Homo-oligomer: A and B are copies of this chain.
Protein backbone atom coordinates (compact mmCIF):
# COMPACT_ATOMS: atom_id res chain seq x y z
CA UNK A 1 0.00 0.00 0.00
CA UNK A 2 3.04 2.21 0.29
CA UNK A 3 2.39 4.55 -2.64
CA UNK A 4 5.35 6.79 -1.89
CA UNK A 5 8.03 4.18 -1.26
CA UNK A 6 9.97 5.30 -4.33
CA UNK A 7 10.12 8.96 -3.33
CA UNK A 8 13.60 8.41 -1.88
CA UNK A 9 14.91 7.73 -5.38
CA UNK A 10 16.77 10.64 -7.04
CA UNK A 11 14.13 13.06 -8.37
CA UNK A 12 13.87 12.90 -12.13
CA UNK A 13 11.83 15.34 -14.18
CA UNK A 14 9.56 14.15 -16.94
CA UNK A 15 11.55 16.36 -19.34
CA UNK A 16 14.66 14.31 -18.49
CA UNK A 17 12.80 11.11 -19.33
CA UNK A 18 11.44 12.62 -22.55
CA UNK A 19 14.94 13.70 -23.62
CA UNK A 20 16.42 10.30 -22.81
CA UNK A 21 13.64 8.47 -24.66
CA UNK A 22 13.83 10.87 -27.58
CA UNK A 23 10.11 11.66 -27.45
CA UNK A 24 8.02 14.73 -26.62
CA UNK A 25 6.70 15.56 -23.20
CA UNK A 26 3.19 15.02 -24.58
CA UNK A 27 4.08 11.42 -25.38
CA UNK A 28 5.35 10.88 -21.83
CA UNK A 29 2.07 12.24 -20.56
CA UNK A 30 0.11 9.88 -22.80
CA UNK A 31 2.01 6.90 -21.44
CA UNK A 32 1.51 8.04 -17.86
CA UNK A 33 -2.23 8.34 -18.39
CA UNK A 34 -2.80 5.23 -20.48
CA UNK A 35 -3.88 7.24 -23.56
CA UNK A 36 -3.93 5.60 -26.97
CA UNK A 37 -1.90 6.69 -30.05
CA UNK A 38 1.47 5.76 -28.62
CA UNK A 39 3.21 2.86 -30.36
CA UNK A 40 3.69 -0.22 -28.19
CA UNK A 41 7.49 -0.02 -28.54
CA UNK A 42 7.59 3.66 -27.47
CA UNK A 43 5.25 2.91 -24.58
CA UNK A 44 7.50 0.07 -23.45
CA UNK A 45 10.68 2.21 -23.75
CA UNK A 46 9.14 5.04 -21.73
CA UNK A 47 7.85 2.63 -19.06
CA UNK A 48 11.34 1.16 -18.66
CA UNK A 49 12.88 4.62 -18.24
CA UNK A 50 10.19 5.68 -15.75
CA UNK A 51 10.88 2.54 -13.73
CA UNK A 52 14.67 2.98 -13.92
CA UNK A 53 14.43 6.53 -12.65
CA UNK A 54 11.98 5.53 -9.95
CA UNK A 55 9.35 7.92 -11.24
CA UNK A 56 6.65 8.49 -8.66
CA UNK A 57 3.52 10.57 -9.16
CA UNK A 58 2.78 12.55 -6.05
CA UNK A 59 -0.25 11.34 -4.12
CA UNK A 60 -3.09 13.79 -4.64
CA UNK A 61 -1.45 15.19 -7.78
CA UNK A 62 -4.57 14.54 -9.83
CA UNK A 63 -6.67 17.61 -10.47
CA UNK A 64 -10.08 15.99 -10.31
CA UNK A 65 -11.33 13.97 -7.37
CA UNK A 66 -11.36 10.24 -8.12
CA UNK A 67 -14.90 8.92 -8.47
CA UNK A 68 -14.17 5.25 -9.07
CA UNK A 69 -12.91 2.15 -7.31
CA UNK A 70 -11.87 -0.71 -9.56
CA UNK A 71 -12.78 -4.27 -8.69
CA UNK A 72 -11.09 -6.88 -10.86
CA UNK A 73 -11.79 -10.61 -11.05
CA UNK A 74 -10.14 -13.30 -13.12
CA UNK A 75 -13.52 -15.03 -13.20
CA UNK A 76 -16.98 -14.42 -11.84
CA UNK A 77 -17.42 -17.38 -9.57
CA UNK A 78 -21.08 -18.01 -8.79
CA UNK A 79 -20.25 -18.55 -5.18
CA UNK A 80 -17.53 -16.16 -4.11
CA UNK A 81 -17.97 -13.16 -6.34
CA UNK A 82 -21.36 -11.86 -5.28
CA UNK A 83 -20.37 -11.51 -1.63
CA UNK A 84 -17.11 -9.76 -2.47
CA UNK A 85 -18.84 -7.37 -4.88
CA UNK A 86 -21.43 -6.62 -2.23
CA UNK A 87 -18.75 -5.79 0.34
CA UNK A 88 -16.68 -3.55 -1.96
CA UNK A 89 -19.79 -1.82 -3.32
CA UNK A 90 -21.13 -0.99 0.14
CA UNK A 91 -17.89 0.75 1.18
CA UNK A 92 -17.61 2.58 -2.15
CA UNK A 93 -21.17 3.87 -1.90
CA UNK A 94 -20.59 5.04 1.69
CA UNK A 95 -17.69 7.13 0.41
CA UNK A 96 -19.54 8.43 -2.66
CA UNK A 97 -17.61 6.34 -5.19
CA UNK A 98 -18.75 4.05 -7.99
CA UNK A 99 -17.36 0.58 -8.63
CA UNK A 100 -15.90 -0.42 -12.00
CA UNK A 101 -16.07 -4.17 -12.41
CA UNK A 102 -13.70 -5.96 -14.78
CA UNK A 103 -13.20 -9.64 -15.55
CA UNK A 104 -9.81 -10.20 -17.12
CA UNK A 105 -6.76 -12.42 -17.39
CA UNK A 106 -6.14 -15.62 -15.48
CA UNK A 107 -5.65 -16.59 -11.84
CA UNK A 108 -2.23 -14.93 -11.75
CA UNK A 109 -2.59 -11.64 -13.60
CA UNK A 110 -5.08 -9.26 -15.23
CA UNK A 111 -4.80 -8.97 -19.02
CA UNK A 112 -2.35 -6.34 -20.27
CA UNK A 113 -5.09 -4.18 -21.86
CA UNK A 114 -6.57 -3.69 -18.41
CA UNK A 115 -3.73 -1.55 -17.08
CA UNK A 116 -4.03 1.16 -19.77
CA UNK A 117 -7.72 1.52 -18.95
CA UNK A 118 -6.97 1.95 -15.26
CA UNK A 119 -4.32 4.59 -15.96
CA UNK A 120 -6.88 6.54 -18.03
CA UNK A 121 -9.70 6.21 -15.49
CA UNK A 122 -7.51 7.15 -12.52
CA UNK A 123 -9.50 5.34 -9.84
CA UNK A 124 -9.04 6.06 -6.15
CA UNK A 125 -7.80 2.50 -5.83
CA UNK A 126 -7.93 -1.05 -7.13
CA UNK A 127 -9.16 -4.25 -5.45
CA UNK A 128 -7.94 -7.37 -7.27
CA UNK A 129 -9.30 -10.87 -6.76
CA UNK A 130 -6.19 -12.73 -7.87
CA UNK A 131 -3.79 -15.09 -6.21
CA UNK A 132 -0.88 -12.72 -6.85
CA UNK A 133 0.21 -9.80 -9.08
CA UNK A 134 3.22 -9.69 -11.43
CA UNK A 135 5.93 -7.33 -10.09
CA UNK A 136 5.88 -5.02 -13.15
CA UNK A 137 2.14 -4.47 -12.76
CA UNK A 138 2.52 -3.63 -9.07
CA UNK A 139 5.32 -1.26 -9.98
CA UNK A 140 3.23 0.63 -12.54
CA UNK A 141 0.31 1.04 -10.18
CA UNK A 142 2.69 2.24 -7.45
CA UNK A 143 4.47 4.72 -9.70
CA UNK A 144 1.09 6.24 -10.68
CA UNK A 145 0.07 6.49 -7.02
CA UNK A 146 -2.87 4.12 -7.51
CA UNK A 147 -3.20 2.05 -4.33
CA UNK A 148 -4.17 -1.59 -4.68
CA UNK A 149 -4.94 -4.61 -2.54
CA UNK A 150 -5.38 -8.28 -3.37
CA UNK A 151 -8.38 -10.20 -2.06
CA UNK A 152 -7.31 -13.72 -1.82
CA UNK A 153 -9.73 -16.36 -0.67
CA UNK A 154 -7.59 -19.10 -2.19
CA UNK A 155 -3.87 -18.59 -2.66
CA UNK A 156 -0.94 -16.91 -0.97
CA UNK A 157 0.26 -13.69 -2.53
CA UNK A 158 3.85 -12.48 -2.20
CA UNK A 159 4.61 -11.01 1.20
CA UNK A 160 5.18 -7.52 -0.24
CA UNK A 161 1.69 -7.26 -1.76
CA UNK A 162 -1.08 -5.81 0.42
CA UNK A 163 -3.77 -8.45 0.75
CA UNK A 164 -6.90 -9.58 2.56
CA UNK A 165 -7.49 -13.27 3.13
CA UNK A 166 -9.15 -15.53 5.66
CA UNK A 167 -7.92 -17.94 8.28
CA UNK A 168 -8.09 -21.25 6.41
CA UNK A 169 -5.90 -23.20 8.82
CA UNK A 170 -7.98 -22.14 11.83
CA UNK A 171 -11.13 -23.08 9.91
CA UNK A 172 -9.88 -26.61 9.27
CA UNK A 173 -8.84 -26.88 12.90
CA UNK A 174 -12.23 -25.72 14.21
CA UNK A 175 -14.18 -28.06 11.91
CA UNK A 176 -12.13 -31.09 13.01
CA UNK A 177 -12.14 -30.20 16.71
CA UNK A 178 -15.93 -29.99 16.61
CA UNK A 179 -16.06 -33.58 15.30
CA UNK A 180 -13.57 -34.76 17.91
CA UNK A 181 -15.57 -33.11 20.70
CA UNK A 182 -18.69 -34.94 19.51
CA UNK A 183 -16.78 -38.19 20.13
CA UNK A 184 -15.64 -39.07 16.61
CA UNK A 185 -12.28 -40.85 16.26
CA UNK A 186 -12.34 -42.06 12.68
CA UNK A 187 -12.43 -38.73 10.85
CA UNK A 188 -11.54 -38.32 7.16
CA UNK A 189 -10.85 -35.11 5.24
CA UNK A 190 -11.59 -34.14 1.65
CA UNK A 191 -9.80 -30.92 0.76
CA UNK A 192 -9.57 -28.99 -2.54
CA UNK A 193 -6.95 -29.17 -5.30
CA UNK A 194 -3.40 -29.82 -4.08
CA UNK A 195 -2.07 -26.71 -5.87
CA UNK A 196 -4.23 -24.24 -3.94
CA UNK A 197 -2.81 -22.89 -0.70
CA UNK A 198 -6.22 -22.72 0.96
CA UNK A 199 -6.65 -26.47 0.36
CA UNK A 200 -3.37 -27.19 2.09
CA UNK A 201 -4.06 -24.78 4.96
CA UNK A 202 -7.46 -26.35 5.70
CA UNK A 203 -5.96 -29.81 5.55
CA UNK A 204 -3.12 -28.82 7.89
CA UNK A 205 -5.71 -27.50 10.34
CA UNK A 206 -7.38 -30.92 10.21
CA UNK A 207 -4.05 -32.71 10.78
CA UNK A 208 -3.18 -30.50 13.73
CA UNK A 209 -6.53 -31.11 15.39
CA UNK A 210 -6.16 -34.86 14.91
CA UNK A 211 -2.56 -34.89 16.12
CA UNK A 212 -3.21 -32.83 19.21
CA UNK A 213 -6.06 -35.19 20.15
CA UNK A 214 -3.69 -38.14 19.67
CA UNK A 215 -5.81 -39.52 16.83
CA UNK A 216 -4.37 -41.51 13.97
CA UNK A 217 -4.86 -40.41 10.36
CA UNK A 218 -5.09 -43.38 8.02
CA UNK A 219 -3.45 -42.64 4.65
CA UNK A 220 -6.62 -43.23 2.69
CA UNK A 221 -8.53 -40.73 4.85
CA UNK A 222 -6.85 -37.70 3.30
CA UNK A 223 -8.25 -36.90 -0.14
CA UNK A 224 -7.99 -34.10 -2.67
CA UNK A 225 -11.17 -33.05 -4.50
CA UNK A 226 -12.02 -30.13 -6.76
CA UNK A 227 -14.06 -28.02 -4.31
CA UNK A 228 -17.18 -28.90 -6.36
CA UNK A 229 -20.08 -31.31 -5.86
CA UNK A 230 -18.78 -34.01 -8.16
CA UNK A 231 -15.29 -34.16 -6.62
CA UNK A 232 -16.85 -34.41 -3.17
CA UNK A 233 -19.16 -37.22 -4.28
CA UNK A 234 -16.37 -39.25 -5.89
CA UNK A 235 -13.97 -38.91 -2.93
CA UNK A 236 -16.74 -39.65 -0.44
CA UNK A 237 -17.71 -42.80 -2.35
CA UNK A 238 -14.12 -43.99 -2.09
CA UNK A 239 -14.20 -43.33 1.67
CA UNK A 240 -17.65 -44.77 2.39
CA UNK A 241 -18.11 -47.69 0.01
CA UNK A 242 -16.45 -50.23 2.32
CA UNK A 243 -17.36 -52.37 5.34
CA UNK A 244 -18.68 -50.48 8.35
CA UNK A 245 -15.62 -51.04 10.57
CA UNK A 246 -13.33 -49.55 7.89
CA UNK A 247 -15.51 -46.50 7.26
CA UNK A 248 -14.89 -43.09 8.85
CA UNK A 249 -17.75 -41.92 11.09
CA UNK A 250 -17.20 -38.30 10.11
CA UNK A 251 -15.89 -36.35 7.12
CA UNK A 252 -14.53 -32.80 7.04
CA UNK A 253 -15.57 -32.03 3.46
CA UNK A 254 -13.40 -28.94 2.73
CA UNK A 255 -16.17 -26.94 0.99
CA UNK A 256 -19.96 -26.79 1.11
CA UNK A 257 -20.22 -28.13 -2.44
CA UNK A 258 -18.02 -31.09 -1.54
CA UNK A 259 -20.24 -31.56 1.53
CA UNK A 260 -23.27 -31.76 -0.78
CA UNK A 261 -21.47 -34.39 -2.85
CA UNK A 262 -20.62 -36.27 0.34
CA UNK A 263 -24.27 -36.09 1.40
CA UNK A 264 -25.29 -37.59 -1.95
CA UNK A 265 -22.71 -40.36 -1.70
CA UNK A 266 -23.93 -41.23 1.80
CA UNK A 267 -27.56 -41.30 0.61
CA UNK A 268 -26.77 -43.52 -2.34
CA UNK A 269 -25.13 -46.02 0.05
CA UNK A 270 -28.14 -45.97 2.37
CA UNK A 271 -26.33 -44.08 5.13
CA UNK A 272 -28.28 -41.48 7.12
CA UNK A 273 -26.65 -38.15 8.01
CA UNK A 274 -25.86 -37.43 10.82
CA UNK A 275 -26.80 -40.81 12.40
CA UNK A 276 -24.37 -42.92 10.33
CA UNK A 277 -22.06 -40.14 9.20
CA UNK A 278 -21.32 -36.59 10.35
CA UNK A 279 -20.32 -34.03 7.70
CA UNK A 280 -18.76 -30.56 8.11
CA UNK A 281 -18.66 -28.22 5.11
CA UNK A 282 -16.67 -25.03 4.53
CA UNK A 283 -17.73 -21.60 3.20
CA UNK A 284 -21.27 -21.22 4.58
CA UNK A 285 -22.80 -20.40 1.21
CA UNK A 286 -26.61 -20.04 1.18
CA UNK A 287 -27.20 -23.58 -0.08
CA UNK A 288 -25.77 -24.95 3.18
CA UNK A 289 -29.00 -23.77 4.84
CA UNK A 290 -31.26 -25.01 2.05
CA UNK A 291 -30.31 -28.68 2.04
CA UNK A 292 -31.57 -31.28 4.42
CA UNK A 293 -29.96 -31.85 6.87
CA UNK A 294 -28.72 -28.26 7.04
CA UNK A 295 -24.92 -28.28 6.95
CA UNK A 296 -22.62 -27.68 9.86
CA UNK A 297 -19.93 -25.59 8.19
CA UNK A 298 -17.13 -23.03 8.56
CA UNK A 299 -18.23 -19.49 7.79
CA UNK A 300 -15.98 -17.61 5.35
CA UNK A 301 -16.32 -13.85 5.81
CA UNK A 302 -16.37 -13.13 2.07
CA UNK A 303 -18.47 -9.98 2.24
CA UNK A 304 -16.30 -8.69 5.06
CA UNK A 305 -13.19 -9.42 3.01
CA UNK A 306 -14.58 -7.15 0.30
CA UNK A 307 -15.34 -4.49 2.91
CA UNK A 308 -11.86 -4.60 4.45
CA UNK A 309 -10.11 -4.59 1.07
CA UNK A 310 -12.07 -1.52 -0.07
CA UNK A 311 -11.39 0.25 3.22
CA UNK A 312 -7.65 -0.49 3.03
CA UNK A 313 -7.35 0.79 -0.49
CA UNK A 314 -9.41 3.93 0.13
CA UNK A 315 -7.46 4.72 3.29
CA UNK A 316 -4.28 4.48 1.21
CA UNK A 317 -5.86 6.78 -1.40
CA UNK A 318 -6.34 9.38 1.33
CA UNK A 319 -2.67 9.00 2.23
CA UNK A 320 -3.39 7.10 5.45
CA UNK A 321 -0.71 4.53 4.82
CA UNK A 322 -0.53 1.60 7.16
CA UNK A 323 3.02 0.89 8.30
CA UNK A 324 4.59 -1.98 6.34
CA UNK A 325 2.61 -4.09 3.89
CA UNK A 326 -0.81 -4.91 5.26
CA UNK A 327 -1.79 -8.57 5.24
CA UNK A 328 -5.13 -9.09 6.89
CA UNK A 329 -6.53 -12.56 7.58
CA UNK A 330 -10.13 -12.39 8.72
CA UNK A 331 -11.38 -14.92 11.22
CA UNK A 332 -13.53 -17.86 10.14
CA UNK A 333 -16.12 -19.33 12.50
CA UNK A 334 -17.80 -22.68 12.92
CA UNK A 335 -21.58 -22.72 12.36
CA UNK A 336 -23.14 -25.80 13.93
CA UNK A 337 -26.32 -27.02 12.21
CA UNK A 338 -27.81 -30.47 11.64
CA UNK A 339 -25.26 -32.53 9.70
CA UNK A 340 -23.12 -33.40 12.73
CA UNK A 341 -23.92 -35.53 15.80
CA UNK A 342 -22.13 -37.94 18.14
CA UNK A 343 -21.22 -41.23 16.42
CA UNK A 344 -23.85 -43.97 16.77
CA UNK A 345 -21.29 -46.64 17.56
Contacts and interface: CB of A to CB of B under 8 A. Distances in A.
Contact of A121 (B98, B291, B292): B98
Interface string A279-297: 0000000110111100000
A267 B290 contact: no
A276 to B, nearest CB: 16
Question: Chain B CB within 10 Å — which of A68, A82, A117 has the most?
Answer: A82
A63 to B, nearest CB: 14
Contacts of A103: 86, 89-90, 93
A89 B67 contact: no
Interface in A70-94: 71, 76, 78, 81-82, 85-86, 89-90, 93
A290 B286 CA distance: 13
Interface string A256-268: 0100100110010
Contact of A68 (B100, B229, B264): B100
A75 to B, nearest CB: 9
Interface in A91-131: 93, 98-104, 117, 120-121
A4 to B, nearest CB: 27
Contacts of A291: 260, 290-291
Contact of A85 (B68, B101, B267, B286): B101
Given A86-B76, A89-B103, A101-B99, A290 B287 contact: yes
A71 B291 CA distance: 32
Given A76-B82, A100-B99, A100-B100, A117 B290 contact: no
B86 A98 contact: no
A67 B101 contact: no
Interface string A333-344: 000000000000
Given A81-B82, A85-B101, A290-B260, A120 B76 contact: no
Contact of A102 (B98, B117, B263, B287): B98
Contact of A98 (B85, B100, B229, B290): B100
Nearest to A97: B117
Question: Chain B CB within 10 Å — which of A68, A101, A260 has the most?
Answer: A101
